Structure 1
Amino acid sequence: MKTLAVAVALAFAFTGTAHAEPAQVAHTSAKFSSYSPTAKAVTHDAAKVPEGAKVTVVSVPRFGGGTTVLLRLNGLLPNRAYGAHVHVKKCGAAPADSGPHFQNVVDPVQPSVDPAYANPHNEIWLDVHTNGNGFAYTSSTVDWQFTDRHAQSVVLHNDHTHTAPGEAGTAGPRLACVNVAF
């Protein structure tokens, strides 16, 4: 519980407000493991996201609108880039089980690679670069909030997110997934 309080306090510091509805704060801390129906965090490629690596995700709605999502990773490969996005479904045994990226305004064509939809203002992008110890931290703030269309996971990808037409939002293979009740 202390970890949640610290994570929420940090999230409020990033959002500049302490007026978010507590029921809407989402928090998950877990260690990556192989898939099981009860696993919170799943590695699909243990060579790039080792079992036992730690992940924390906190999502805080901002007073007056908007959302800040924070991602903290520890125990990944050192000095390496990873892409990361919020996805619509929970983690599963197969990398594709987490579904497409969550989009505030949904692209009618899926998978979405149109920069009009696949962009960091309409999706939550959490790309990171680990330090020499395999630690990384990032946050993303958007001007919308999760409503009845809740996202359910954050997926780590092999590459940083691409932005060009025809590949916008893509970031290579899905390496790992963490369930988050956004």
Structure 2
Amino acid sequence: MPDAAVPVGAELASGVGLVLARFGPYRPTATAVTYRPDLVPNRALVAVARASVAGRTGVLLVTEGLVPNRQYGAHVHVRPCGPAPADAGPHYQNRRDPQQPSTDPQYANPENEVWLDFTTDARGRGLTATTVDWVFRDHRPRSVVLHETHTQTEPGSAGMAGARLACVTVWF
């Protein structure tokens, strides 16, 4: 499997992208960064795939080596990973909420954002996928962030999923 310093990431064809990497500490060349190695261990694997066809976008997230039987939230974010968890910026939104951070269910919802919540199995593997009825545009996303909990949906906390545990820079 690839090392954190040697990620596989590419736009495979028009509308199709893939990132495969191992989590590790932040470095300027890192693709997958863990901010909480107790919950997203160094060397855990992550794969993110995206396909856009006929005005729709599907995103797949696969992990291996995480904490067994644990819930994680995950979302597509607007900026690449950085040394601090907040560097990835807010969630990518098809229709941008003028108020950030967005907690209004009119904007912070799985139809307007890419939500990839998952629960790992007994061996620490996770798998999730979603499809939205739009494609990424000029303000393309740059990362997928793993969060501490599944995503909330209530007004005032919609879109929130706890602390940012890890980040994967993507080439969408």
2:23 aligned with 1:32, yes or no? yes
CA distance in 2, matches of 1:24, 1:34: 30
- The percentage of aligned residue pairs carrying the same residue is 55
Structure 1 counterpart of 2:63, from 55, 61, 73 = 73
CA distance in 1, matches of 2:146, 2:85: 10
Matched to 1:43, the amino acid is T
Return the offset for 1:22.
1.9
TM-score, normalized by length of structure 1? 0.87
Structure 1: stretches of 5+ with no match in the other structure: 1-20
CA distance in 2, matches of 1:99, 1:24: 23
Q: 1:122 maps to which residue?
A: 112
2:34 aligned with 1:43, yes or no? yes
Return the offset for 1:25.
1.1
Matched to 1:149, the amino acid is H
CA distance in 2, matches of 1:170, 1:141: 20
2:141 aligned with 1:113, yes or no? no
Matched to 1:54, the amino acid is L
Q: 2:164 maps to which residue?
A: 174
Matched to 2:122, the amino acid is G
Return the offset for 1:150.
0.6
Q: 1:60 maps to which residue?
A: 51
Tell me, what secondary structure is at the counterpart of 2:86?
Answer: helix
Tell me, what secondary structure is at the counterpart of 2:14?
Answer: helix
Matched to 1:35, the amino acid is Y
Structure 2: stretches of 5+ with no match in the other structure: 1-11
CA RMSD of aligned residues (A): 0.9
Tell me, what secondary structure is at the counterpart of 1:102?
Answer: coil
Q: 2:9 maps to which residue?
A: none
- Which protein has the bigger strand share? 2
Tell me, what secondary structure is at the counterpart of 1:60?
Answer: strand
Matched to 1:135, the amino acid is R
Return the offset for 1:24.
2.3
Q: 1:16 maps to which residue?
A: none
Tell me, what secondary structure is at the counterpart of 2:128?
Answer: strand
Matched to 2:21, the amino acid is A
Matched to 2:169, the amino acid is N
